[in-house]
A and B are shown apart, each in its own frame.
Chain A
Amino acid sequence: MLDSFQNIVVSSFPNILEVEFKYINRKYLKVILINITFVYLSLLAAVFFLEYKNILGLEEVTFWLFLFITILFIYTIFIKIIGFKRRKFLVREKDISYKKGVFYKKITTVPFNRIQHVEIDQGPISRFFNLASLSVFTAGDSSDDLKVNGLLKDEAQQIKEYISNQIDG
């Protein structure tokens, strides 16, 4: 009986986990925090509105609702700040990778020769900081492909062009 791993002599294949990944732009943390704050404020506003108009008859639980939302807010900010250091990406000769996660770690690699198209988009807040996100799409059910947030606009553009060249060439 053969062992499948006999096929693999590790040293002979490029090991992606030994390569140093790059951090995304520090300014993106601000974008994340601003976004979360917006969501938090709109949730607060919604609860205020409900209480003021007394629509659902919630007055007894309102306090707990506020507390719950605030704890959630603090927790999310905490996670995002810790997790920010874990958001890293890597462009190699033939593929692009992205990893993230504190309690739930995830790493994705998409080889260039499987990429169908590349997209750059900018939200309103990201635009203010001159940041952009880069998404790559592969064939099939593309919902779960790779997206790198928080790249400088120029850097994203460069990577996009690099990938496009690799696909054509």
Chain B
Amino acid sequence: MVSKSSFSQFSKQSKKGIIIIYLDILYKIIKALWILVFVFIQNFSKTLDNNLSYIYFYLGFFFIFLLLIAFLKYHYFQFKIENNYFILKKGIIKKTNTSIPFDRIQNINFKQNIIQQIINVYEVNIETAGSSKAEISIKALSYEQANALKKTITINDKCNNYIWELDDDNKPNTINNPEIFIEQKPLLKISIMQLLKVSLTENHLKSLLLLLAILFGFYQQITELFNGFGEGELLDNYISENTTNFETNIVLIFILGLLFILVSVISSFVRVFLRHFNLTVYIKNNALEIYQGLTTKKSFILKKEKVQHITVSDNPIKRQLGISFITFKQALSGNVKKKQDKIIKLVGCGQDQVLAIKNLLFSNEKFENFTKNYSSYYFKVRLYLRSIIFLIIINSVLYFIFKYNFVFWINILLLPIFIISIELTFKKRFYLFTNDTLLIGSGTIETHKTYLPFYKVQNVKLKQTFFQSTQNIIDIVFQTASGKIVIPCIREDEAFKIYNYTLFMVENNKYSWM
């Protein structure tokens, strides 16, 4: 037994936590007000000298005031463990008291950003599937404290896991597999070379879009600022002047395109290296332990039963190199904002690792033995109709912007892209199911295979438009705790069978869905 007594009394964070909290407050303020700070610095030279000392004084006072707040925050942030509940009280003026039963805890993650690494403390995040209020983040614990806390919570939660294992007795358990049982040998360890391969073969378009989204965020903040000063037109004029130049200068567009490609490749690299640097995965006690990150080191424990569904994906280049990535979806809480945090991605998995993880989660089910079922041709018709509408919109928007027939030439480029992607999307859509698990294939350039155990389904829907009903074709939608999964356009009778079967499986199984 680990000494449970260590948390039976209310304890505070490590004293170094004050620094972390202080910097965290500063960071939040700067993030919210950076544009004001920017303006302030710009106008700084204009202010009179005799005002300057006042400004320094107030600034100094402000920073000391923040330090005081940080200290109070630290002081009132106390937690303990009692009767299999994690209890936290915090708040300076508005006091909150949270208690979370252990079996609601989804996982306990460690995290270290650069500052936390320097002063050697760990941030511990306790995730639940409940409301966002129940997400707890302890900013600074010493390594011993953090580990002890994790152990206390996981050991007490063991009884849960144990029952689960017993239930599973009749099936070959992965624990018996000697290769996985050797605890200290990692299932997966990604070297820098492998990480290079991974980032080269990433979906660069997605990286670019992510980057653009961030830039767009900045742009909006800037326009808000300009609008605030009544100078919004100025910025718009500036931008429209530049866009009119674009249409006359095709060379510029080409250069820009090249630049975009370069930027997206680089941003892929940066993204992959920051997030997945030194990715290491262990399998321990029916759970995956994951360590990764460059500037911010993270460690997760992913419990087998908390995973709702997984997706194994690759693309043509990755397949050549024999690597794929696995996305684990866990139950989401009500707030969509932190959605990204709940999705755990393992990059650079080889065949063996994928197999080991599949075995861990789905106990050696033989998906290969089943024939694939495909969507009806109506699915293709629908995709074509949608793209035609999309093309018409693109064409008319472009025409209205540039007022120039030349823009219709873009269809020569767009049409083949659309046709190829539709054919690929249609070809890659398939589904099959074993006794317990549904497997759905999808993707266009990438190939995704989603594995969903039937008993994780929250509710099922059938949807049918008028056109579909003339063809006896229907969409089936599985709602899980981590999002929707759709099989589009399958035959009615098959859909009904799956519908009834899913309901039967959900209503008559003994496992809890999390």
Contact = CB atoms under 8 A, between A and B. Distances in A.
Interface of A: 1-5, 7-8, 10, 13-17, 94-95, 101, 103-114, 138-142, 144-146
Nearest to A1: B371
A114 B497 contact: no
Contacts of A104: 463-466
Interface stretch (B118-126, B417-425, B480-488): B480-488
B432 interface: yes
12 contacts: A3-B370, A4-B431, A8-B498, A13-B501, A95-B507, A104-B463, A105-B464, A108-B460, A111-B507, A139-B129, A140-B483, A141-B479
B92 to A, nearest CB: 33
A95 B507 CA distance: 8
Contacts of A113: 506-507
Interface string B392-417: 00000000000000000000000000
Interface string B456-498: 0111111111100100000000011111100000000010111
Given A2-B370, A5-B497, A13-B504, A114 B433 contact: no
Query: Which bracket fits the contact residues of B?
Result: 35 or more
Contact of A7 (B334, B434, B457, B499): B434
A2 B372 CA distance: 9
B248 interface: no
B435 interface: yes
Given A1-B370, A104-B466, A8 B497 contact: yes
B464 A109 contact: no
B53 interface: no
B462 A140 contact: no
B369 interface: yes
A7 B504 CA distance: 12
B479 A144 contact: yes
Given A1-B369, A104-B465, A141-B336, 6 more contacts: A7-B434, A14-B504, A107-B462, A109-B460, A111-B459, A113-B506
Interface of B: 129, 331-332, 334, 336, 369-371, 373, 431-435, 457-466, 469, 479-484, 494, 496-501, 503-504, 506-507, 513-514
Given A104-B464, A105-B463, A109-B503, A140 B458 contact: yes
B435 A110 contact: no
Given A139-B129, A140-B481, A140-B482, A103 B466 contact: yes
A114 B513 contact: yes
A146 B483 CA distance: 15
B496 A15 contact: yes
A15 B332 CA distance: 31
A7 B480 contact: no
Given A104-B464, A114-B459, A4 B373 contact: yes
A142 B336 CA distance: 11
B500 A139 contact: no
A106 B479 CA distance: 14
Contacts of A5: 494, 497
Given A109-B459, A141-B332, A141-B483, A2 B371 contact: yes
Contacts of A111: 459, 503, 506-507
Contact of B479 (A8, A103, A138): A138
B370 A146 contact: no
Nearest to A146: B459
B332 to A, nearest CB: 5
B459 A105 contact: no
A107 B461 contact: yes
Given A3-B371, A7-B433, A140-B479, A110 B507 contact: no
A162 to B, nearest CB: 15
A147 B114 CA distance: 48
A108 to B, nearest CB: 5
B499 A109 contact: yes
Contacts of B464: 101, 104-106
B497 A108 contact: no
A17 B336 CA distance: 34
A7 B435 contact: yes
Contacts of B371: 1-4
A3 B482 CA distance: 28
B370 A4 contact: yes
Nearest to A16: B500
Given A1-B370, A104-B465, A140 B497 contact: no
Query: Which of B458, B481, B494, B501 has the most CB atoms of chain A within a 10 A radius of its CB?
Result: B458
A103 to B, nearest CB: 4
A11 B170 CA distance: 27
A121 to B, nearest CB: 18
Contacts of A144: 479, 484
Contacts of A140: 331-332, 458, 479-483
Given A14-B504, A107-B461, A140-B479, A4 B434 contact: yes
9 tightest A-B contacts by CB?
A: A140-B481, A138-B458, A139-B481, A110-B459, A103-B466, A94-B507, A105-B464, A1-B371, A4-B432
A82 to B, nearest CB: 13
A10 B497 contact: yes
A17 B52 CA distance: 78
A141 B504 CA distance: 23
Contacts of A95: 503, 507
Nearest to B339: A141
Contacts of A101: 464
A108 B459 contact: yes
Given A2-B371, A111-B506, A139-B481, A106 B463 contact: yes
B495 to A, nearest CB: 10
A145 B334 CA distance: 13
B106 to A, nearest CB: 11
B465 A110 contact: no
B433 A13 contact: no
A87 B5 CA distance: 58
A105 B461 CA distance: 10
B131 to A, nearest CB: 11
Contacts of A8: 497-498, 500-501
